[in-house]
Amino acid sequence: DADVTQTPRNRITKTGKRIMLECSQTKGHDRMYWYRQDPGLGLRLIYYSFDVKDINKGEISDGYSVSRQAQAKFSLSLESAIPNQTALYFCATGTGALETQYFGPGTRLLVL
Amino acid sequence: SQQGEEDPQALSIQEGENATMNCSYKTSINNLQWYRQNSGRGLVHLILIRSNEREKHSGRLRVTLDTSKKSSSLLITASRAADTASYFCATAPRTQGGSEKLVFGKGTKLTVNP
């Protein structure tokens, strides 16, 4: 079984809809991250969490919110989706930025 | 803003040849990491080199780090078609209070032709 899982893997939604992307991990890591990948722009950090009670904004948090329900679960929400949020979203876990991060398989989101 | 910038953006070689990718960054770092991404999939960690290290090997991979030039290179020797992927460098900037974020470059797309 994969150590970091993401659901759904693909999602098509309409402008203005609220959607949630979910991430679960079995690695026992405290730190979890949400990234967004756009063609030609690499990965950009949306939010990160050091533990259940610690949530931090990343580089591009506007339009997004997160919830850390448990050590193993970190959800990303788009409160009112817009077309420029169409992207590939990745969840990652780690023991710290000084160490390796482990990525999920990604969620491909299309906002019409 | 991007911390790491990979060069070249795209590289096409024949199987058996060596592939070299470079990464330049702007600020002092704690470490630099290289990741691989197969098309549309999650990133996979390849190698981590700390700021006090100059060279590191892992199988067919060789990574160098020159902190005076703020640059790193990833060499894949005897490339295979299965090495076809995008390769990203990621830096952990050294900041006051400690760095907790990785900053990724835009990647080099490597194509290895059979």
- What does DSSP assign to residue B81? G
Distances (CA, A) of B24 to B53, B58, B71, B90, B93: 16, 21, 4, 10, 13
Instruction: Count CB atoms within 10 A of the CB of residue B77.
Output: 14
Chain B hits for A40, CB-CB cut-off 8 Å, are 106
Cβ contacts from A onto B, under 8 A = 59
For residue B86, which amino acid is it? S
- What does DSSP assign to residue A71? T
Chain A hits for B33, CB-CB cut-off 8 Å, are 100-101
Residue linked to tokens 């470079």: B22
- pLDDT tens per residue, range A10-43: 999 999 999 999 999 999 999 999 999 998 778 9
CA distance B93 to B17: 33
Chain B hits for A103, CB-CB cut-off 8 Å, are 35, 42-44
Distances (CA, A) of A8 to A24, A47, A105, A109, B5: 12, 19, 10, 9, 31
Instruction: Count CB atoms within 10 A of the CB of residue A1.
Output: 4
CB within 8 Å of A45: residues ≥ 6 apart: A33, A34, A35, A58, A59, A60, B101, B102, B103
From first to last of its 114 residues, chain B has per-residue pLDDT tens of 446 788 899 999 999 999 999 999 998 888 899 999 998 789 999 999 999 999 999 999 999 999 999 999 999 999 999 999 999 999 987 765 555 678 899 999 999 999
Check residue B1 and give its pLDDT. Answer: 43
Check residue B54 and give its pLDDT. Answer: 97
Query: Is the model's pLDDT at A45 over the cut of 70?
Result: yes
Cβ of residue A58 closer than 8 Å to a chain B Cβ? yes
B100/A48 CB distance under 8 A:
yes
Of A31, A48, A90, nearest to B42 by CB-CB distance is: A90
Structural contact between residues B79 and B34, judged by C-beta atoms closer than 8 angstroms: no
B42/A99 CB distance under 8 A:
no
Of A98, A102, A103, nearest to B31 by CB-CB distance is: A98
Query: Is the model's pLDDT at A83 over the cut of 50?
Result: yes
Q: Do β-strands A107-111 and A10-13 pair in parallel, antiparallel, or remain unpaired? A: parallel
